[in-house]
Structure 1
Amino acid sequence: MENVTLKRSLGLWAIVGLGLGYMTPTIVFDTFGIVSSETNGVVPLAYLTALAVMLFTAISYGKMVQVFPSAGSAYTYTRETINPHLGFIVGWAALLDYILLPMVNALIIRIYMVSIFPEVPAWIWVVSYVAVVTAINVWSMGKTSSLNSLLVIFELVLIGAFIVLAFVKLSQGMGQGTILTTAPLFHSDIHLGAILTGATVVCFSFIGFDAVTMYAEEANDIKTMPKAIMLTVFIGGAIFFIAGYFAQALFPDVSNFKVTDDTLPEIGLFVGGTLFQLIFLAGAFAATVASGLASHASVSRLLYVMGRNGVLPRKLFGYVHPKFRTPAFNVILVGVVSLLAISPSLELISSVINFGALIAFTFVNLSVIAHFVFRQKRYKTAKDIFAYLIMPIIGAGLTGILWYNLHADALLGGIGWIVIGFIYMLFQTKFFKIKIADLKIDEAESTSSLS
Structure 2
Amino acid sequence: MSQQAQQGQLKRSLDLRAIVFLGLGYMTPMVVYNTFGLVSERTNGAVPTAYLVALVVMTFTAISYGKLVRAFPGAGSAYTYTREAIHPNVGFLVGWIALLGHLLFPLANVLILRLYMEYVFPDVPGWMFVVVFAVIITGSVALSMRGTSNFNGILLIYSLAVMVIFTVLISMQVSEGRGTGTLLSGAPFVGTDFDMTNIIYGATLVCFSFIGFDAVTVYAQEAKDQRVMPRAILITVLIGGAIFLLGSYFAQQRWPDVSEFAEYTGNPLPHFGFIAGGDVFMWFFTAAGFAATMASGLASHASVSRMLMVMGRKGVLPKRVFGHVSPKTHTPLTNVLIVGLVSLGAMFLDLDTVASVINFGALIAFTFMNISVIAWFAIRQGKRKNGKDIFNYIVMPVIATLLTVMLWVNLDEISLTVGFIWLGVGVIYLAFITGGFNKQPKGFDESEPVTGFNKVADEA
8 Å Cα contact 2:191/2:256 also seen in 1: no
> Which of 351, 355, 358 is matched with 1:353 structurally?
358
Counterpart CA distance in 2 for 1:442 and 1:97 is 14
Q: In 2, distance between residues paired with 1:13 and 1:141?
A: 24
Tell me: CA distance 1:14–1:34, structure 2 relative to 1, closer, same or farther (3 Å): same
Deviates more, 1:265-274 or 1:131-140: 131-140
Structure 2 residue aligned with 1:281, among 283, 286, 291? 286
Please show how residues 97-246 of structure 1 align to structure 2 within 5 Å: 97-134=101-138, 136-137=140-141, 143-186=147-190, 189-219=193-223, 221-246=225-250
Q: 1:81 aligns with which of 81, 85, 91?
A: 85
Structure 1: distance between partners of 2:299 and 2:254: 31
Q: Is the 8 A contact 1:365 1:392 kept in 2?
A: yes
Counterpart amino acid of residue 350 in structure 1: A
* TM-score of the two chains, using structure 2 as the length reference: 0.89
Q: Does the 8 Å contact 2:110/2:346 carry over to 1?
A: yes
User: Conserved in 1, the CA contact under 8 Å of 2:97 and 2:423?
Assistant: yes
Task: Tell me if structure 1 keeps the 8 A contact 2:21–2:153.
Answer: yes
Distance of 2:231 and 2:142 partners within structure 1: 28
Could you report, residue by residue, the CA deviation over 1:97-130 in whole angstroms, capped at 9, with x for unpaired residues?
1211111000110111122123444344334433
Percentage identity across aligned positions? 52
Verify the 8 A CA contact 2:79 2:445 in the aligned structure 1.
Answer: no
**Partner letter of residue 113 of structure 1?**
M
* Residue number in structure 2 paired with 1:262: 267
Question: How many matched pairs?
Answer: 449
Q: Is the 8 A contact 2:76 2:446 kept in 1?
A: no
Give the alignment partner of residue 317 of structure 2, picking from 301, 312, 315.
312
Matched with 1:25 is 29
For 2:230 and 2:331, locate their aligned partners in 1 and report how far apart those are by CA, in whole Å. Answer: 24
CA RMSD of aligned residues (A): 2.9
* Aligned equivalent of 2:421: 416
The partner residue of 1:57 within 56, 61, 74 is: 61
Alignment match, 1:36: 40
How far off is 1:47 after superposition?
Answer: 0.2
Moved more, 320-329 or 117-126: 320-329
Please identify, of 393-402 and 130-139, the stretch whose mean Cα deviation from structure 2 is larger: 130-139
Matched, 1:367 2:345: no
Q: Distance in 1 between matches of 2:213 and 2:408?
A: 19
2:101 and 2:361 in contact (8 A); partners too: yes
- Residue 341 and residue 70 in structure 1: after superposition, are their counterparts in 2 closer, same or farther (change >3 A)? farther
Equivalents in 1 of 2:344, 2:224: separation in Å? 33
Q: TM-score, normalised by structure 1?
A: 0.90
- Residue 294 of structure 1 is matched in structure 2 by 299
Deviation (angstroms), 1:326: 6.6
Matched residue SS, 1:210: helix
Q: Which amino acid aligns with 2:111?
A: L
Amino acid corresponding to residue 155 of structure 1 in structure 2 = S
For structure 2, the 5+ residue unaligned runs are none
Q: Report Cα offsets for 1:191-211 as digits up to 9, x if no partner.
A: 111111110111111111112
Q: Do the aligned partners of residues 360 and 279 (structure 1) sit closer, same or farther apart at CA in structure 2, a change above 3 Å counting?
A: same
In the alignment, the residues of structure 2 paired with residue 6 and residue 91 of structure 1 have an alpha-carbon distance, to the nearest angstrom, of 24
Does 1:46 find its partner at 2:50? Answer: yes
- Partners in 1 of 2:11 and 2:340 — Cα distance? 24
CA shift, 1:317, in A, is: 3.9
